[in-house]
Amino acid sequence: MSTLTTAPGAAAPGQRPQLRTRRLPTLAALGIAVAAVVLSAALVYGTGIGGTALVVALAVVLYLAGLYLASNVVEGRRQARNRTWSALIHSAFVLALLPLVSVTWTLVSKGAERLDGNFFQTSMNNIGARDPNGGAYHAIVGTLEQVGVATLITVPLGVLCAIYIVEYGRGRFAFTIRFFVDVMTGIPSIVAGLFVLAFWILIISPIFNNGRPGYSGFAASLALSVLMLPTIVRSTEEMLRLVPAPLREGSYALGIPKWKTILRIVLPTALPGIVTGVMLAVARAAGETAPVLLVAGGGAAINFNPFENNQSSLALYVYQQAGDASRYAPARAWAAALTLVALVLILTIAAKLLARRNRFGR
C-alpha cells in the first residue's frame, strides 16, 4: 500500500509529490517466526502426534501464513505475495540444508573419537574383538588405488566418447552409443560387480593365475569403471555442447584443423565442467561397497599391489565394522566414514583448483 504525500510545510509550486511506501518492520517478521515456532511446538508436543521434524514443518507453514496476513494488512496484497514467495524460497533452502548439516555434524561428532595416529597407521590384521586398536590404513590404500586406476581407465574413454558424440557423431551409431550410455546410468552397482566377477575373475584371471580365480583391487577398479563411465560421458557431453559455436567457427576460419580446435579450444573451455563430472563419478565410485566385496574380497592386511590378492576399501571397511559385534567397531566405522567424506572433499577441491589454475594460465 502506497500513498502520495507532500513534505511537511508548504510545498514549492511545481514540486513533485513524494512516494512513500509502508513497510513491514523486520522485528514483526521475527516475531511472527517466533510465534510460529512456539505455536507449532505447543500443538505437536501437546497432542503427541510427532517430533522435531513435524514441529519444523508446521512452523514453516504457520510462519508463511502469518507473514502473508501481516504483510497484506500493512503493505498490500502485491507486496504480501512477493514477501511470502521470498520467504518460501528461503525456507526451502534452509530445509534442504538441514539434512546436510545433520549428516556432517553426525559424522564429525561420532567419527572424531577414533581419528588418531593408530587409526591411520595400522590395519585390522591380527585385531581381535576385544582389542580397542586397529585402523583403516589398508582400506585407505585400497580406496586410493582402486579409484585411481578406475579414473585412469574411465576418464580417457569417457571424454573421447563424449567428443565423438558431440563433434563427430551423426546418425544411428551415435544414437546407439547415447542410448547405451543412458542405460548404463541406471545399472545397479551389484550388477557391475557380477559382470566383472563372471568375465574377469572366472574367465580371464585364471589364465594368468595358474588356473585359479584371482580376486584383486584391479578387478574392483574394472567394476567401478563400469559405474563411472556413463556419468563422465554424459557430463562431458553436456559441457561440450555448452561451448559457444563462434569459438569453433573462429578457429576454423583461421585454418586450424578440427582435431586441434577440439584439443586447444573446446576442451579447455569446457574443462571446469568436465572436472566436476569426473569428481561426481569419483565420489560415487569411492562410496561403492558391493563391487569391492564381490571382486576384491576385502581383507584385514595391507596390500599395496592392486593386481594380486584381496584388497579392502573404506566403504567396505565401514560395512564390515558396522556389522561387527565388537564394542569398538562402531567408532571405527564412523571414523572411516568421516575419512571417506574428507578424502572425496579434498580430491574435489584439489581438482577444481587445478582446473582453475590451468584455465587462468591460458
232, part of any domain = yes
Rounded to an integer, the average pLDDT of 21-26 is 79
pLDDT > 90? residue 163? yes
Picking from 94, 111, 128, the residue at the C-terminal end of a domain is 111
Is a pLDDT exceeding 70 seen at residue 313?
A: yes
Is the pLDDT at 86 greater than 80, yes or no?
yes
The number of beta carbons lying within 10 Å of the beta carbon of residue 189 is: 20
Q: Residue 10 domain-assigned?
A: no
**Residue 361 confidence (pLDDT):** 52
Whether residues 218 and 325 fall in one domain: yes
Specify whether 164 is located in the same domain as 229: yes
Domain match, 145 and 200 both: yes
Give the tens place of pLDDT for each residue, 183-212.
888 889 999 999 999 999 999 989 888 888
Question: Does 2 score more than 50 pLDDT?
Answer: no
Residue 18: per-residue pLDDT: 55
State the average pLDDT over residues 150-167.
93
Instruction: Judge whether residue 157 has pLDDT over 80.
Output: yes
- Local confidence band at 4 (pLDDT 50, 70, 90 cut-offs): very low
Give the domain range for residue 40.
Answer: 24-111
Which residues are paired to 20 by β-bridges?
Answer: 3
Pair 156, 242 in one domain? yes
Domains contained in the chain, number: 2
Cβ atoms of 336 and 317 within 8 Å: the answer is yes
Position 256 in a domain? yes
CA distances from 115 to 21, 142, 245, 323 (A): 57, 19, 51, 20
Across the range 58-69, mean pLDDT stands at 90
User: At which of 111, 144, 160 does a domain end?
Assistant: 111
Taking the C-alpha atoms of residue 41 and residue 226, their distance in angstroms, rounded to an integer, is 49
pLDDT at 315 > cutoff 80: yes
Report residue 335 as a C-alpha cell. 571414523
The pLDDT value recorded for residue 359 is 56
User: pLDDT tens digits for 220-252?
Assistant: 999 999 999 999 999 999 999 999 989 898 999
126 and 96, same domain (yes or no): no
User: Grid coordinates representing 194?
Assistant: 557380477
Confidence at residue 72, expressed as pLDDT on a 0 to 100 scale: 87
Q: Is the pLDDT of residue 274 over 70?
A: yes
Show the cell assigned to 9.
Answer: 510545510
Dihedral (Cα; 117, 118, 119, 120), 10-degree rounding: 50
DSSP characters over 146-214: HHHHHHHHHHHHHHHHHHIIIII--SHHHHHHHHHHHHHHT--HHHHHHHHIIIIIIIIHHHHTTTS--
Q: Which residues contact 79 (CB under 8 A, 6 or more apart)?
A: 1, 71
Q: Are residues 206 and 166 in the same domain?
A: yes
CATH value at residue 318: 1.10.3720.10
Q: 139 and 70 share a domain?
A: no
Residue-level pLDDT at 6: 46
Reported residue count of the chain is 362
For residue 358, what pLDDT band results from cuts at 50, 70 and 90? low
> Would you say residue 357 has pLDDT above 80?
no
Residue 62 lies in a domain: yes
In a domain, 9, yes or no: no
In this structure, the answer to whether residues 234 and 312 fall within a common structural domain is yes
Q: How far is CA 180 from CA 91, 230, 279, 324, 361, in A?
A: 40, 9, 22, 40, 37
Amino acid at 147: V
User: What is the pLDDT, as a whole number, of residue 25?
Assistant: 83
1 pLDDT exceeds 50?
A: no
pLDDT reported for residue 272: 87
- 235 shares a domain with 124: yes
Same domain, 82 and 35: yes
1 part of a folded domain? no
- Is residue 223 classed exposed, middle or buried when 0-12, 13-18 and 19+ CB atoms within 10 A define those classes? buried
Are the C-beta atoms of 70 and 32 separated by less than 8 Å? yes
What is the distance, to the nearest Å, from the Cα of residue 312 to the centroid of all Cα atoms in its chain? 23
* 107 and 256 in a common domain: no
Which of 111, 140, 157 is a domain's end point?
111
If asked whether residues 175 and 32 sit together in one domain, one would say no
Whether residue 142 contacts residue 303, with contact meaning beta carbons closer than 8 Å, is answered with yes
Residue in 320, 317, 232, 246 with CA at minimum distance from that of residue 277: 232
